Amino acid sequence: MTVVYVAASTPNVVGVAKTQLYIGPAATFPASVTTWTALGTVLALPAVGPKDAKVTAETIGNSLTLKAKGVTDAGGGNLSLTEDFSDVGQTSLKAAYADKTNDYPFRYILPNPATSTGTGTIIDVMGKVMQFQSDFGSGPNNFIKASAELEYTTLATYTAAV
């Protein structure tokens, strides 16, 4: 038997700094959005990407746990911001939280354009804002922060940098 090893490619990694997060109008799929609103003073972004549930059965006969993939969760996580009451994006995020029925489009634009005039990788996903809370910290030398929990309702789509 012949074994072939394929060399690792040159890494093409992207830093988080200058990544932009936008929100669009309710119940509009990202491809149809014409105006995106940037979220300002972002401190930490939620993860993007699905996760499958683990299905297990512990067997008696061979003392082995059987494993399979179960239902896929589209993902989500915590968005951390310095609360800015004049930021239109944060106002939109609060409105999305107050909306109990509609999904909202979110767009991430990564800072990795392929050319000096291009756009970085775009990640689009639909989701709900499950929480928006103000956090006053633990002392006087803090900014008021905000925490928003995003739960994605579709799988993310990726558009390569240009």
Q: How many CA atoms lie within 13 A of 90 on its CB side?
A: 20
pLDDT of 45-59, one tens digit each? 999 999 999 999 999
When the pLDDT of each residue in the chain is averaged and rounded to a whole number, the result is 94
**121 backbone dihedrals φ, ψ, rounded to 5°:** -55, 135
Mean of pLDDT values over 85-101: 97
Record the pTM: 0.89
The domains found in the chain, sorted by start residue, are 20-159 (2.30.110)
| Per-residue DSSP letter, 96 | H
